[in-house]
Structure 1
Amino acid sequence: MGEVHVNGSATKLISKPNSNGIALQPSNNHRGLWFEEEIEEDLRWVFSVSRVLHTGVSEFQDIALVESGPFGKVLILDGKLQSAEADEFVYHECLVHPALLYHPNPRNVFIMGGGEGSTAREALRHKSVTKVVMCDIDKEVVDFCRAHLTMNHEAFHSSRLDLVINDARAELEEREDKFDIIIGDLADPVEGGPCYKLYTQSFYELVVKPRLNAGGVFVTQGGPAGILTHSEVYSSIFNTLRQVFKYVVPYAAHVPSYSDSWGWIMASDKPFPQITVSETDSRIKQRLDQSSELRFLDGETLRATMALNKHVRQALAKEKHVYTEESARFVHGHGAAQQAA
C-alpha cells in the first residue's frame, strides 16, 4: 500500500497506484485529497474526499468507503464507484420500481447482490411484497454497509428481509421456491471480478428463468449506457436477454456520480402492459408505502427513461454479440481476484 502525505500526516492509498485506477492524491488546495477513478486508459473521474472511512480487501474484491464533498458517503468496489449517498436514489429507484410496477401483484423478490441494502429498501416499500431475499457473496461488504449506511438500517432490520450470504448462482440453483421478481444488482462485469459470469446467456436461461413464477419479471443493471459507453456491456447484455426472454425493455437515466447515463433492462415472457403516465402515478400512490415519496421516479420520468436516444437505440437494435463466459465483455478495470493471480 502506498502513502500520500497531507498536512504532515500519512494517509494510506486505497490500492496500489494504477492497479485499479483508484488513488487518493494530495491536492494543492484546501480540500486535501482527491479520489481518482480510471474510466478508460485516457479518461479519469476525480472528486474531492474529506475523509477515508474504511478501506480493505475482502475475499472477493477491494472495498472502500469515503466521505466526499459533492456526493456524501461513497462506496467503491474494485476501483469502481458503486453508490453515492447524494444520488443513489436515482439508480435504485430505476432498478427496482419499474419491474414491480409493471407486475400485477409482486409478492416475493430475489435480489442478486445488493449488499449495501438500498435495493432491498426500495423493494420493501411495496406493500404487496411479503418477502425479499437478498443474496450477496461478500459478507464483509454487507456487514460494513449494515453498520455504516444509516439510510438502510430499517431495511436490514425488516422482518420481511431474508439476508443470505452466498453466491447468487448457487443460491438460485439450490432453492426450490420461485419469485415474481428477480433483480440483478451486481457489480459491473470487470475482468477478474466475481460477477461477470452472472451476465451470461447460460445463467439467464438455465438459472434465472426457471426461478421466475409465470408472468415474472427479471431486471438487471446493465452498466454505462451513454453515447460513448453503451457498447462496452450494455448492448451485449440487452441482446443476450433477447435470446432468453420474449419481451425485453431497455431504459436509462443520468446518474451524476457515475459521470454517465446508466442502463437497466427488464425482461419477461409476458408482455409488458402499456401504462400511461397517470396510471403509473396511480400505481405508485396505491402500491407504495407513502411514508416518504419517491425522489426521482414518477410516470413522466419512467416514460422518459424508456425513450433512449437515437444513437443508442439503433445500436441496441443492431447488436449481435451474446454474452457468454468465453466471449465476455468487460468495463474498464480489473477485479481483485485477477490482481492476486
Structure 2
Amino acid sequence: MGEIAACSNGIINNGNGSRKGCWYEEEIEDNLRWCFALNSILHSGVTQYQDIQLLDTKPFGKALVIDGKLQSAESDEFIYHESLVHPALLYHSNPKIIFIMGGGEGSTARELLRHNTVEKVVMCDIDQDVVDFCKSYLLVNKEAFCDPRLELIINDARQELERREDDSYDVIIGDLADPIEGGPCYQLYTKSFYESVIKSKLKKDGIFVTQAGPAGVFSHTEVFSCLYNTLRQVFKYVVPYSAHIPSYADIWGWIMASDSPLVLNSDELDLKIKQRIEGENRFLDGKTFASASILSKAVRKSLDNETHVYCEGSERFIHGHGSVSAAAAHK
C-alpha cells in the first residue's frame, strides 16, 4: 500500500537523521518499503473502483499510482509498455485486430498503434474516471486517444469479450492492475477465464500476453510463477520474460501464450521491428528480448517446479491492498 508521508515541509525521521520534504512510500513486503522524493502531488482522488494519484516525483518524473501501487512513471514506462506490446505483435504473422484488457493509461494503445499492420484496437477499461484522468494529464498519449483506429470501451473486460459473440482477435493483451486482494480485476487472471473466454476469443494463430507481476529472484513466487503454470494448462506454447523497471524497484514479468509456436531469433525480430513499427524503440530490440526471455537459474527452476494453478478460491495476490491511507493532497 502506497502513501504520501510527511508532505510539504514535514520531516521523516529515518533513525539516521532527517529527510526534509515530501516523500512517496510503498510497502513492497512486510519489512521492506520503497520510497522516493516528490516535487508535488498533482492530483489525488477516489473513483468508483479505485484510488488514483498523479505524483510529480524527483527521480522518475510524473508517476501514476492506483490503489496504492505505482502503475507507471514518466521516465521508464517505455520499458514496461514496449515489453508488454511488441513481442506478441512481432511474433504474430499479421496482427490486425487487438483487444486490450485495461490499459486506461493509454500507453499500451500508443505502442500498438505504432504497428503498421494494426487496423483496430479495442481498449476496454472498467473505470471511466481513470481513463478521463489519463486523457487529461498524460499528454504523451494524446495522439493515441485521438487515433481513429482506437475504440475505447468502458466495461468489465470479461463482460465485454463475452458480449462480442462474433468478434475474435489476433492478439489479446492483459494490461490489468496487479492481482491485489480486494482489487477490481484479480478474477481476470484465473484458469477458467483464460480457458473459457480468452482462448475462445483468439483467432487461429492468436497470441495472448499479460503483465504478470514482480519477477525477481525473491518476488516471482507471489504471482509470476503460478500465472506461468496456469497458462501452461491452457496453451501449448508459453513464454515468460522479464526486465528491470527502476521505478518498480524490481524485475517485472510478462507471459506470452499461444497454441502456435513462438519462435523467432534476434535478427528476425529486428527485421520485423524495422518493417512494422513506426519510430524507434527506446528499449526493445531482438537481442533485448532474447535476453529478457532467458530467466535466471533460480527463477527457471522455480517455474519448472510450480504446481499452483490460479483459480477462483485459490488466488494469490501481490503484497498490498486496494486503498491508500494517510494521503495528503498538497500541491
User: TM-score normalised by the shorter chain: which range applies?
Assistant: over 0.9
Aligned residues of 1:146 and 1:156 also touching (Cα < 8 A): yes
1:46-65 matches, within 5 Å, as: 46-65=35-54
**Of 215, 220, 242, which aligns to 2:205?**
215
Q: How has the CA–CA distance of structure 1 residues 184 and 300 changed in structure 2, closer, same or farther, with 3 Å as cutoff?
A: same
Partner of 1:199: 189
Aligned length: 315
Partner of 2:225: 235
Aligned residues of 2:4 and 2:22 also touching (Cα < 8 A): no
1:5-20 matches, within 5 Å, as: 20=1
Partner of 1:173: 162
Aligned residues of 1:31 and 1:48 also touching (Cα < 8 A): no
Partner of 1:12: none
Mapped partners of 2:268, 2:262: distance in 1: 14
Mapped partners of 1:153, 1:208: distance in 2: 29
Aligned residues of 1:225 and 1:262 also touching (Cα < 8 A): yes
Partner of 2:5: 24
Mapped partners of 1:258, 1:296: distance in 2: 16
Partner of 1:130: 119
- Identical aligned pairs, as a percentage? 62
**Of 99, 102, 106, which aligns to 2:95?**
106
Residues 140-177 of structure 1: CA deviation (Å, up to 9, x unaligned): 11000011101100000000000000000100010021
Mapped partners of 2:254, 2:231: distance in 1: 12
Matched, 1:294 2:281: yes
Residues 285-332 of structure 1: CA deviation (Å, up to 9, x unaligned): 001113xx1000001101000010000011001000000120000001
Mapped partners of 1:27, 1:112: distance in 2: 41
Matched, 1:329 2:316: yes
Mapped partners of 1:199, 1:22: distance in 2: 26
AA matched with 1:232 = E
Unaligned runs of 5+ in 2: 13-17, 325-331
AA matched with 1:100 = L
Q: How has the CA–CA distance of structure 1 residues 105 and 67 changed in structure 2, closer, same or farther, with 3 Å as cutoff?
A: same
- Report the Cα offset of residue 83 of structure 1: 0.4
TM-score (norm 1): 0.91
Partner of 2:15: none
> Helix, strand or coil: the match of 1:22?
strand
RMSD of aligned C-alpha atoms? 1.3
Q: How has the CA–CA distance of structure 1 residues 31 and 160 changed in structure 2, closer, same or farther, with 3 Å as cutoff?
A: farther
Matched, 1:265 2:218: no
- Report the Cα offset of residue 220 of structure 1: 0.1
- Report the Cα offset of residue 195 of structure 1: 1.1
Unaligned runs of 5+ in 1: 1-19
4+ residue stretches of structure 1 with deviation over 6 A? none
Mapped partners of 2:257, 2:155: distance in 1: 24
TM-score (norm 2): 0.93
Residues 186-229 of structure 1: CA deviation (Å, up to 9, x unaligned): 00000000010000000000111100000000000000000110
- Report the Cα offset of residue 277 of structure 1: 1.6
- Report the Cα offset of residue 21 of structure 1: 3.9
- Report the Cα offset of residue 23 of structure 1: 2.6
- Report the Cα offset of residue 244 of structure 1: 0.5
Partner of 2:78: 89
AA matched with 1:27 = I
Higher relative contact order (CA 8 A, sep 6+): 2
> Helix, strand or coil: the match of 2:275?
helix
Aligned residues of 2:68 and 2:323 also touching (Cα < 8 A): no
Aligned residues of 1:192 and 1:336 also touching (Cα < 8 A): no
